Each structure stands twice: as structure tokens, then as C-alpha cells.
Structure 1
């Protein structure tokens, strides 16, 4: 018994049963209301026709009485045919002077109650309650009379009952058909959903290239499958990027770690070799390279998780660009030119300085002899342009170089100390400030990096509490 009560709870029903029950209740309620309205209208229509027929017969008798006596009325006006059941002419004293049935001895109505034309009246208790009476008072040449014509409403009631019986028989069939159709249709739709669910359940970390089946019908289930496939593609791309990121990071850390490990092993086996040259020339540079790489990785990881946290304030871009140009000029080996105008923006000064440093270092690494740093204002934006006269960057690779661990020259890692993360960090910092960074062709034949930042508008993330 408890199990039956549990099963009767809608919360324990499946979606197919709940949908079928809901469809049955909805269709049943609509049919019930429609049947009630239809039977009511049908009954009113039949009674209206009955009253109209009785009123028409009474009007015909009244017209004849105004031109002659009761005895002169045609016998056809008193025939009980069609919807007319009883015809009576009653004088002012309540006597029936002429009737369709000579056996009727009591008037259908008290003539004294009839003062004006009426229809749909109930007869006195001496007659059948199914009769509906049309009454017409008339003044004839031989006196005052009341014409009473009654129609029998029983045929109309039988017709309404027959229609009601048909509705009572057909209604449950329609409800059952609607419930069955809903049950089958929902089941068919759920089969597609179940196929999608089972396929997704079977997709593991090693099978992200699999996709769920898309139904042929272009309906909501098909759109769900397409959305699921798009999501799987994004998950696969993210998983592949993460795997590649971990692999590239491991590869980048392996080289400096191996150098430091080899130097320490050498110092352990031959302590006399641990001198300033080994420490300053080998261990410290490799350790610094490893530290910088770890900081870059942490910066990108923070950007992926919550976005870069910026501590904003007024930043003079001209000062930052001038400092980077001066530092590059002090290193020697390259001609450094500047064309700097005073421009102030809202941003995080250390992070903007790092972005400019990475761009300038990238230009220096690829320039043959000249690097040009330009800062100017362009309407509501500040522009920082860094040009070099190096080999440039092909158009097809200009967007790709801002990816992580991307190097256009396979042999340039050890030569320049680059890890392939510098430009990726630049893109994250500039995006966090509401700006953009693009690459064009430099007038000197190399690459031109263009940083565009909004002026006077704080697009940065608020300071952390």
C-alpha cells in the first residue's frame, strides 16, 4: 500500500507520465468547458426556434381574427403540426372558444394575466410542464380574445441529451488520444535527450574529440545537441590549451633547472669550482630566468582565473615610455629614437610599465640597428608605437604572436632569453585596461606594435579590498 501511495505522487512520475497527465487534464478541462458552452447554446437555439414557431402561428391567428370572427378561422391554423403542439383561443371570461384539441378543457394560461404579446411562458399546472406558450391578446370584431399557442420542448431536450451523450462518450476518447500522443511524442523527444546524455556520460578526458548525435529535425533538441557539441569543442580546446601550456611550461623550466642542477652537482663533487664566475655567470642568470618564467606563469594564471587585479591611478605614459627608451639606450648596440608627447591615462603603473618593457625588449631583440618609441594622443585614446627595423612579422602571424609560448623563430629562445610569454602578458595587461594591442608594418621595414589605451576613463578592475 505504501508503495502504491508513493507511486501515486506526481514527484515520482517520469517526465513522460507527467506530460501525458498534464495534457489529459488540460484537454479534459477545455473539452468540459467547450461541451458545456455548446450544449447551452444548442438548448437556447432550439428553444428560440420553438418559441419563434409558436409566435408565428399566434401572429397568423391574430391577423385572421382582426378581419373576422373565431368561427371563420381556417382549420389549418389549429393543426398540431411541426413544433406546434396546442392552439387555443380564450375569451375574456376564460372559456376556450376554439382549440386544436377539443378534449382540452383548461386554458394554457389565465387570460387575465396576458396584457401584451409574450412567448416562452410556462403553462398552468393542468398541462405538461414541457410546453412553452406564446400568448397574443387581440380585439376581434366579435370581442376580446387571447390567442395561446404552445410548443413542446421535449424534442429539444432529447436532442440536447443525445448530443451530451455523444460528447460524454467522445470526450474521454479525445482526452485519452491527447494523453497517448503526448506520451509518445515526449518519449520520442526524450530518446534523443537520452542519447545525448549517454554519449556525454561516456566522454572522458581522453575522448573530448567525440560529439553527441544531432537529430535530423531542426527543433529544440537539435539546438541542444549543437550547443552541447559547441561546449565540448570549447572544453576540448581548453583542455588542449592547458595540456600544451603545461607541456610548454615544463619544457621552459627544464633548461634552467638542468643548468642549475648541473652547477650544484659540480660544486658538490668539486667544491673548489664554486667561485664567483660559476655563481654569477651560470647559476644566478639561470635562476633569474627561472624566476621570471614562474612570475609570468603566475600572472597569466591569475588573468585566466579572475582577471588581472589592477590598482589604478594617474599614469603618465610619456614618462614610462621615456624610461624604457632610456634603459634600452643605456645598454648600447642600438639607435633608440623617441617622439613622445605628454599623455596621462588611468591605470596600474607597474603593469603598464611591464607591458611597455616587454614590447620594447621584443623590438630590441629583433631590430637590426634602430628602435623608435612614439607616444601621442589620438582623440579619446593614447597611442604607444614601438617600431624596429628588423625582419618584421608576417600578416598571418600577427595575431598568433600574442599567444602563449609562441615563437616565430625556433632557435631564438636561448639567444634572447625569451619564453614566448612576454607578448601574451602584454595582451592581458592592455585588455585589462580596456585597450588593444595590434601589429602593423613599421616605416623602417620591421614590425610596429601599437598599444591603444582610453584616456581619462577608468576601464580597470577596482582595487581589491
Structure 2
């Protein structure tokens, strides 16, 4: 089996590119794109300037040819014609058989500048470029043909222009681009490097702020937010919001660990004391009572550890692992059946079958925690009822105990909070039952509310999704 390609197996150019800083990569990429654009612009400029100069020469040659053609039509064509102006070098007048009828000074009066095929092209108004050797010149010649006899079309005026000045202009422009282009690219690269560095200063500030956070902790400082309302501003704001949430979570975690350690210390200390007394008594009387008290503390410790593990799973990945149809009426009856031997009567009021979408284990834990809490404080009875309510179901667990004062009903959902610490511990409470209930119900998209039962406490659980 072939091994997966790791970082060292990437191609060398890709590895080199990944090792560059963001500033260097942006500068290199921008400079490369600018260089390509400059080269294309230079090619277009050279082509456009050359084409424009050729058109200018052709226009000048056509005017000179028209002047000579006028002499041909008037019958006043001399044996030697003037070359004209505008860079025109040579002029020939040829007949239909490409024989020279007249020529300007310097032009061959015997041999035409063009071949028969080339003559056919220039007679159609298509300028051509030929070698300068035909006129003993080092530079190419641009030849334009103008028909002299408009009626018969027997004679044609050939006007040849030296392309030396056009080529010199093109060469000068090419040299300017060749030597000036690298300077422009270098200036562009330096400007891009400076501008990117200026733009990335807030990122460097964020990096320094992150390093300071690593040294000082979340509670002491936050990342600097740049003044410009750009993407980096939004990033810094988002990171600070995330740090606020992490700070809050860390604070809660530290508080939770402290509370858990405090809660665990009490039953362990009590258990140690009772076991030490039992060890000293040996087989004497009173050992049975001590062991029973030790078992009570062990049960308290076991329940507390179970609740701590439940909350730890909730903080890590949530309490609701699956969502399947759950028969809530059957679940209520099954849980209530486990309280037949409780210290108070547990009655159920489930008028019809009712199905909700949720995690069965989580909903089972909600019912157990609520019933444990209600049985713990009820005087004579506990009632569990469920009804269809709007787009969901309404579950109520009611007892006739002392209830919870209105100003403390939200506090009881805090971890390890108890209204009566000593009484709750004696009755086996861990201070985590209702917080676990809220975690599970919230994960199901519902909510938990505490109300007066007159007398006692009514816990309402609203679950949103129902199925027939």
C-alpha cells in the first residue's frame, strides 16, 4: 500500500512557496501578475505604434502616388519623376507588363521594384514590404501601388518608402521597455512589499496580542482591534468574542472543579471517620450502625460521581446522542413503577399515547432526576402528568413539599446550589439533579420552568417536537 504523501513529499516549489511569509507571497504574486500585464501592454504598444507608423507612411505614399498619377492622366508624365515628400524614397511608373515607364532619381529605370505577383497585389490596394536589396538599401521597403489610368488601368505608380525610421522608432520603444520595464517592476515590487506590510500591521498586532494572552491568561487582556472596519477588524472582534466565551467557560470550569472537590471531600471524610471508628471497635457493638452510615456515604459519593460524569459528557459532546421516536407515556409509567416503595406515593396522569423525538436515555434521566427531587421533599404524594401543548408536549412533576422561593428558582439550576445544604446532603442530594435536567431539556430544544404548586413545587418541562 502506498504511503500518504506528507509535507516532505510535496514538490520542491510548493514546499518553498509554503515556507514564505504571507507578505512575501502576496508581493511575489502581485509582482508576477504586474510583470505579465506589463509585458502584454508592451507588446500591444509596440504593435499599435508600428501599425500607426505604417499607416502614416502608406497614407503619405498614396498621396505621392496620386500626384504622379495625375501627371500620367494629363499626359505630362516626364521621363524622370520627383520622389515627393513625407519619407518617400523611390517612385516608379510601370505598365500592365510590369515594364518601367518612368522612375524617380535613384530608382531603377529598367527593372521594376516588384514581381508580377506582387504587382497584382499592390494594384488591388494592398501595400507590401520587400527587401531593401532591390534598391541597394539596408532597410526594408514599403511599397504602395496607385493606379494611374483610371479608364484603362494599364499603368501603375509604385511608391517605395524606406522603413528605417519606423524600425528605429520600434527599436527605441523596445529598448525603453526592456530597460525601463525592470525598473518599473522593481518599483512595483517595493511598493507592494511596503503596502502589504502596512496592511498586515494589524495582523502582527494580533499576533503580539495572542502571545501576550498566552503569557498573562484570558482574564487579563484581549486582542487589539484595528480602527479600520475591514476583515481584520471583524476577525479581531470575532476572536475577542470567542475569548470572552472561553474565559467564561474556563471560569465556570474552575468553579465547577472547586465545587466538585468540596462536595467530594465531605462524604469521603465522613466515610474515613466511620471506617476508622469501626476498625477501632473491632467486633464490639455499634459496628453495624457505622457500616450502614458508611454505605449511605458511599451511595452519596456514587451518585455524585455519576452526576459529575454526566455533566462532564455534557460539557464535552452534549447529553443528547440520538434522536428517535420515544413513547413518552410508556417511559413515564416505567420510571414511576420504580418508585412503588418510595416514602410517598407517586401517581401518573397520562391520558393518551404520546410520542416525542429525542434521546430515550436522556429523557429517562430527566424523569428520574425530577422524581428523585420530588420524592425527597414531598410530604404525602408526587404526581407526574403529560399533556399535548401547542406544537409539543407539557410534562409536569408536582409535589406537596416546602417548594422553592420565587427569588431562588433560577439559582437551583446552578451546579451544587442547595437551598438547605445540610438537609439536602442528609437526604442524598448532590446539587446536580436540576442542572442535568436543564442541560438535557435544552439539548432537546425545550425548556424547564419552576412554578408554585400551592403547596409544593411544580416543575414544567416543555418539549417541542411531537409525533402521532
TM range (shorter): 0.7 to 0.9
- Equivalent-residue separation in structure 1 for 2:126 and 2:46 (angstroms): 22
Is the 2:98–2:112 contact (alpha carbons within 8 Å) kept by the matching residues of 1?
A: no
Q: Give the counterpart of 1:294 among 270, 284, 305.
A: 305
- From 217, 220, 243, give the equivalent of 1:232: 243
Residues 334 and 101 (structure 1), Cα distance of their counterparts in 2 relative to 1, 3 Å cut: same
Q: Secondary structure at the match of 2:77?
A: coil
In structure 2, the residue matched to 1:126 is 134
Shift of 1:357: 2.0
Q: Which residue of 2 aligns with 1:48?
A: 55
Maintained 8 Å contact 2:344/2:375: no
Deviations 1:191-247 (A, max 9, x none): 543443343234348622122222223334334433433343333223222211111
- Name the residue aligned to 1:263: 274
Per the alignment, do residues 157 and 102 of structure 1 end up closer, same or farther by CA in structure 2, a change over 3 Å counting? closer
What secondary structure, in the 3-state scheme, does the structure 1 residue paired with 2:187 have? helix
Is the Cα contact below 8 Å between 2:329 and 2:353 reproduced in 1?
yes
Alpha-carbon distance, 1:98 to partner:
4.2
Answering whether residue 304 of structure 2 is matched by residue 284 of structure 1, we say no
Q: Structure 1: 5+ residue runs without aligned partners?
A: 1-8, 458-465
Cα deviations across residues 46-74 of structure 1 (Å, max 9, x unaligned)?
212322332344345445644x213399x
Aligned position for 1:69:
75
Match of 1:359 among 355, 359, 370: 370
Deviation track 1:362-397 (CA, whole Å, cap 9, x = no partner) reads: 345566877542223458744422345665575996
Superposed counterparts of 1:57-456, under 5 Å: 57-59=64-66, 61-62=68-69, 65-66=72-73, 68-71=74-77, 78=82, 80-91=84-95, 96-101=100-105, 105-106=109-110, 108-110=112-114, 113=117, 114-115=119-120, 116-123=123-130, 125-127=133-135, 128=137, 129-139=139-149, 144-204=154-214, 207-209=217-219, 210-271=221-282, 272=284, 274-280=286-292, 282-308=293-319, 315-322=326-333, 331=342, 338-345=349-356, 349=360, 351-364=362-375, 371-377=382-388, 381-387=392-398, 391=403, 394=406, 398=410, 401-407=412-418, 413-414=424-425, 416-430=427-441, 434-439=444-449, 441=451, 444=454, 446-452=457-463, 454-455=465-466
Residues 1:46 and 1:412: Cα distance change in structure 2 (over 3 Å) = farther
Distance 1:225 1:397, change over 3 A: farther
| Number of residue equivalences | 444
Q: Is the 8 A contact 1:335 1:369 kept in 2?
A: no
State how far apart, in whole Å, the 1-side matches of 2:211 and 2:66 are.
83
Change (3 A) 1:411 1:59: farther
State the distance in 2 between where 1:447 and 1:205 align: 49
Q: Shift of residue 20 of structure 1?
A: 3.3
Alignment check: 8 A CA contact 1:256 1:286 kept: yes
Residues 1:95 and 1:358: Cα distance change in structure 2 (over 3 Å):
closer
Distance in 2 separating the partners of 1:140 and 1:197: 83
Is the 1:108–1:123 Cα contact (8 Å) retained in structure 2? no
CA contact (8 A) 1:440 1:450 kept: no
Whether the 8 Å contact between 1:245 and 1:404 is mirrored in structure 2 is: yes
Q: Distance in 2 between matches of 1:332 and 1:404?
A: 26
Distance 1:38 1:420 in 2: 83
Q: Conserved in 2, the CA contact under 8 Å of 1:372 and 1:386?
A: yes
Q: TM-score, normalised to structure 2's length? A: 0.78
CA offsets, 1:270-320, max 9 Å, x none? 44353333333x322222111110111122223333444868887542233
Asked if 2 retains the 8 angstrom alpha-carbon contact of 1:341 and 1:375, the reply is: no
**In structure 1, C-alpha distance between the alignment counterparts of 2:376 and 2:295, rounded to whole Å:** 22
Contact 1:199 1:212 in 2 (8 A): yes
- How far apart, CA to CA, are the structure 1 residues paired with 2:272 and 2:150? 136
Larger RCO: 1 or 2 (CA < 8 Å, sep 6+): 1
Tell me the distance in 1 between the aligned counterparts of 2:321 and 2:22. Answer: 49
Distance change in 2, residues 1:453/1:285 (3 Å): farther
The two structures, once aligned, show a CA RMSD in angstroms of 4.1
1:5 match: none
Q: Deviations over 1:13-55 (max 9, x none)?
A: 5544444344333322221222112212221222123223323
Equivalent pair of 1:430/1:453 in contact (CA under 8 Å): no
Deviates more, 1:383-392 or 1:168-177: 383-392
Instruction: Report the Cα distance in structure 1 between the residues aligned to 2:153 and 2:40, rounded to whole angstroms.
Output: 52
- Is the contact made by 1:92 and 1:111 (CA closer than 8 Å) also made in structure 2? no
Structure 2: 5+ residue stretches without partners: 1-15
